[in-house]
Amino acid sequence: MPDGFLVTAATPDDHDDLFTAFSRIVEDGDGFPQNPPLLRHEFDEYWLAHSSVVAVARTDSGQLAGAYYLKPNFVGRASHIANAGYFVVGPFRRRGLGRSLVLHSLEQGRRLGFDALQFNLVFETNPARTLYEELGFSQIGRVPRAVEDEDALIYWRAL
């Protein structure tokens, strides 16, 4: 992790902060497809209900700076493939925290027995694409006009 940040597994004490921060991401249309305003049960369903792990990054002073979830992308015989979603809170971006969260999730994925990680809907203009490609993800598909006429890409890498 970059200096000044600590990553831990989320506990119920983190959920209100996570909901608030992710609601802001959704409000800003920032990389995720949910419609604002995000409702608590939608957050619970997307972030908590199916996740194998949720991790939060906090500053030394305890502010929520970022988070990710990791969960099976598919059921049954394809459940060895994980899916993950990441965000970094605006003021903490471009300091390497996003990269550290992705790397952390790769380790966690391996630890949990997943053998691949797939992102289903990376909007074409999302700067995270550079990061994913640098970290060895391959673009394996394209979803035409996924949101408001913008295509999205599907990324995959082995763990």
Ligand X SMILES: CC(C)(COP(=O)(O)OP(=O)(O)OC[C@H]1O[C@@H](n2cnc3c(N)ncnc32)[C@H](O)[C@@H]1OP(=O)(O)O)[C@@H](O)C(=O)NCCC(=O)NCCS
| Rounded Cα gap, residues 127 and 129, in angstroms | 5
Measured from the CB atom, is 80 or 95 closer to ligand X?
A: 95
Measured from the CB atom, is 3 or 77 closer to ligand X?
A: 3
Instruction: Express the helix, strand and coil content of the chain in percent, nearest 5 each.
Output: 35, 35, 30
- Number of residues engaging ligand X in binding (CB under 6 A): 21
Residue that is written with structure tokens 């305890």 in the block: 62
Using CB under 6 A as the criterion, what x/- string covers residues 77-96 for binding ligand X?
--------xxxx----xxxx
Among 51, 73, 83, 126, binds ligand X (CB under 6 A): 126
Choose one: 16-24, 38-46, 73-81, 125-133; the region binding ligand X (CB under 6 A).
Answer: 125-133
Neighbour tally for 38: CB within 10 Å: 19
